[in-house]
A = this chain, B = another copy of it.
Amino acid sequence: MLRKEELEHLSRFSSTIKLARKTVLRADSLSLSPVTAVIEGTIGIQHILDDGRRSIAAFYLSGDIIDLRTPGTDQRHDLVALTRATICRLSPAVLDDVLQLNESARAVSVDNLRRQKCLALDHSVDLTKKRALEKVASFVFECRDRQPTVAAEIKLPMQHCDIADYLGLRPETVSRCLHELQDSKMIEQPTVSCITIKDAGALRTLADGTKHDGERAR
């Protein structure tokens, strides 16, 4: 996680690209330049199964560094723009030089890796044992905690069909769950891409996987 000035500095040694939504950078083209900084927008790591099913394994926001170097194995994931996005392809060699010299930048870089690994593990927990409604509740918190500013309004960083592919659900289910959260007064949804948390306690409890039979006529 670098600050904007640092990103801009690095970008001098690299190529900054604007991407339209749904633009895909395929895995094979990434092996040459596996390090990408997100300047603006949302970038997803996607994987297409042989029969077309799409999975979004992770997403990255403004300021994140995506390091796709995979020691020992082939890169199997694509990058995809989930919104209009601006990215910066970094030369791994140049980056490594910078990190070699700058100890604090190196620490930041390693922390960045640790943080992303931690996010991936948290996400795995959401995926393994949570029900659809719990997944969506958890996703709302992830968006809140990862958006740059602390605000009551949460701007969803991607569309419902992308959320579905990220949570292992279908777009219809995501829509139904968001409406259910709204019906039970936990959130409000002024527009499709904007959410306000109304009852953070109840939403947290739900996201953390507490049984709440009590609420369902039992």
**Residues of A with Cβ closer than 8 Å to B?**
45, 47, 49-51, 53-58, 67, 69-73, 76-77, 110-111, 113-118, 120-125, 127-130, 165-168, 205, 208-211
B125 in contact with A47 (CB, 8 Å): yes
B128 in contact with A55 (CB, 8 Å): yes
Q: Are A49 and B114 CB-contacts (below 8 A) given A120-B124, A122-B76, A124-B55?
A: no
Number of copies: 2
Give the interface SS of chain A, mostly helix, strand, loop or mixed.
mixed
Q: Are A210 and B168 CB-contacts (below 8 A) given A118-B70, A121-B120, A127-B127?
A: no
Contact of A117 among B49, B50, B53, B113 (CB under 8 A): B113
A70 in contact with B129 (CB, 8 Å): no
Contacts of A76 in B (CB 8 A): 122
- Whole-angstrom distance from the CB of A49 to the nearest CB of chain B? 3
B168 in contact with A128 (CB, 8 Å): yes
A128 in contact with B56 (CB, 8 Å): yes
Contacts of A69 in B (CB 8 A): 114
B113 in contact with A113 (CB, 8 Å): yes
A71 in contact with B114 (CB, 8 Å): yes
